[in-house]
Structure 1
């Protein structure tokens, strides 16, 4: 049972969102997805949450080499991908082996290395989207220069047992990081995890907390409603489809129209029902690389996504990792915008 130690949303607004049901929402006219290549730059992380299958223990964590990064983005470009998804844990350089690798290449930390990897992706016509845990405002600003978008899951505003002992999992710290991305003008993805010990009320409160940050900064592109899934570490059961549908409907009701509701297309058995509940985006799907966050769950083929959209009464459309309004309003650096312009012409 979650213990809430602070309020992050108006209680009356929370009550209103809790009353929303999937019967009150509808499938969007268009359902979008991005074609990506997944680069797990490092499997090191200062946290070791027991629902996470991504991180490796100290002594086992790796760092992708520059040659591996180059080969992967080259393959992605040949396969028609538009997004280079860079993902690694918070403060990967705290692992001695990773620190040694970075030292040998002349980098101060993992984010310095990431910067050059993003340049490599841009040189090959791919748009970087980085998920690298909690970062400072200065770090977000610097990386924003070489990223089309970035992201960090809020997960929950509740104090849950699964997060005990991890400073960067504290709700206030993650909310501050999401706000800092807005202050730096970074198009952003965030979201909530369903099934890690939070309550229905916690979910509603979390969605409204994200909404307030977007109202202030206008930077949130999409909010992921992601259900936890069983893995070799996790003792958490997969939430029912009904619970996830309910949460998708609450998200669609809570969020403004310019923020999309995203669901991972490989983590549910009834994807069309989530689209009918209001989910308008299926995230990044790779034709080449695994979902390294959830390695036991394969990406569906694009043909499957099209069938899902058809069943829900929607049209499937491919998108870039940055949404059009952020491009049109000048949120991107010149070097990233040049790659966006080229990608738009090829769509």
Structure 2
């Protein structure tokens, strides 16, 4: 049992023997991928208010300085993204603002909302109207909060970061692993295609890294809902001077992720933060969401690579590069998958479980002649998926 998980109703089984085995994995124990994928997205920083004060994070603003985008601003960002050929609207967040953020709550109330999640729902609808598929990452979520927005999202996500209690999650309002795991479990219970990941270098040790990856695997084996796991190094910024993991560390932990996770779960590294070219042979098969329009609002000092740079990464690894949607094809019903799809289907993709809502299905099924790129990406852009 992962420490603290039971307090949030999560029963995660991680055996010590499995941890020991994973710690023995090296890059030579995993295979390079047959192809690389990426998603073309636009970042929509809906709010910079956050209940947490993690010492490595520059995204959150303190009360009195935090911002909340208006729906008009959301629409303009999404419109620019659609014009640039994006398919994904990535809604970035600080976790649900606490009571200190009186101005944010007052603004939400003035706009007719009693929570950030009902407002997020409206923002996702705007993205859909502008021809983008929402992928929201609003941090820790109760089952009720997630169900409020799940049907207007193609997929969702939250970084687990680590199952360890670390000093970088400092202060009286600190992230706790059990609550993070509960969010992953909520996604599984609600049939939400989900992205998660670990943050490397924030004070966790090697056993913590192994335990974190195995906890993700355990939940995925139960619900079949994890589409990708990000292996992200912490990076230097104005709030973090504790250093970043070296290349040897990143190579080993990336190989551990590939060895720990089932074949159908992609291993992703962010190419603006990690030495992606040196990690592909460690099992990386996805380069994540890359924006041709907006900054990485989580790490604004680290610019996105241009498409040609992604092509160079793929070329150096000797594999093809393909564009994908924010929801992986294995979660789509048969009528929306490509004829050549040969990957493992998500459990129930053609039957009792509906991974995408009617709203998202209608968007994906829309005629690409009308301007959306979804079917074009499915038909022409996506490289083979496991």
Q: TM-score range by the shorter chain?
A: over 0.9
Contact kept? 2:236, 2:244, Cα under 8 Å: yes
How many Å separate the matches in 2 of 1:290 and 1:166?
A: 30
Q: 1:320 to 1:51 in 2, by over 3 A?
A: same
1:253 equivalenced with 2:277 (yes/no): no
Tell me which residue corresponds to 2:175: 169
Give the alignment partner of residue 126 of structure 2, picking from 120, 123, 147: 120
Instruction: Normalising by structure 1, report the TM-score.
Output: 0.96
CA contact (8 A) 2:53 2:173 kept: no
Change beyond 3 A, Cα 1:97–1:300: same
Residue 284 (structure 1) aligned to one of 270, 289, 294:
289
Q: Alpha carbons of 1:168 and 1:162: their partners in 2 closer, same or farther (altered >3 Å)?
A: closer
Q: CA deviation at 1:162?
A: 1.4
Aligned-pair CA distance for 1:341: 2.8
Aligned to 2:54, which of 44, 49, 52?
49
Contact 1:168 1:174 (8 Å CA) reproduced: no
Instruction: Report matched runs for 1:199-210 at 5 Å.
Output: 199-210=205-216
Would you say 1:339 and 2:363 are equivalent positions?
A: yes
Instruction: Describe the SS at the equivalent of 1:251.
Output: helix
1:110: how far off? Answer: 1.1
Q: Is the 8 A contact 2:89 2:134 kept in 1?
A: yes
1:40 has 2:45 as partner: yes
**1:340 CA displacement:** 2.2
Mapping for residues 205-284 of structure 1, pairs under 5 Å = 205-268=211-274, 270-284=275-289
Q: Is the contact between residue 5 and residue 159 of structure 1 (CA under 8 Å) also seen in structure 2? A: no
1:182 aligns with 2:188: yes
Post-superposition Cα deviations, 1:21-58, rounded to whole Å, max 9, x if no partner, equal 01122321110100000000000000010100100111
Contact 1:156–1:203, Cα closer than 8 Å, also in 2: yes
Q: Whole-Å Cα distance in 1 between the matches of residues 189 and 39 of structure 2?
A: 26
Q: Which of these residues, 308, 311, 315, is aligned with residue 310 of structure 1?
A: 315
Q: Which residue of 2 aligns with 1:108?
A: 114
Larger RCO, structure (CA 8 Å, separation 6 or more): 1
Matched, 1:97 2:103: yes
Q: Is the 8 A contact 2:51 2:173 kept in 1?
A: no
For residues 172 and 165 of structure 1, the distance between their equivalents in structure 2, rounded to whole angstroms, comes to 17
Aligned residue pairs: how many? 344
TM-score (ref. length: structure 2): 0.86
Kept in 1: contact 2:53–2:171 (CA 8 A)? no
User: Which ranges of structure 1 fall in alignment gaps of 5 or more residues?
Assistant: none
Q: Distance in 1 between matches of 2:53 and 2:375?
A: 42
Structure 2: state its 5+ residue gaps. Answer: 6-11, 334-348, 367-372, 378-386
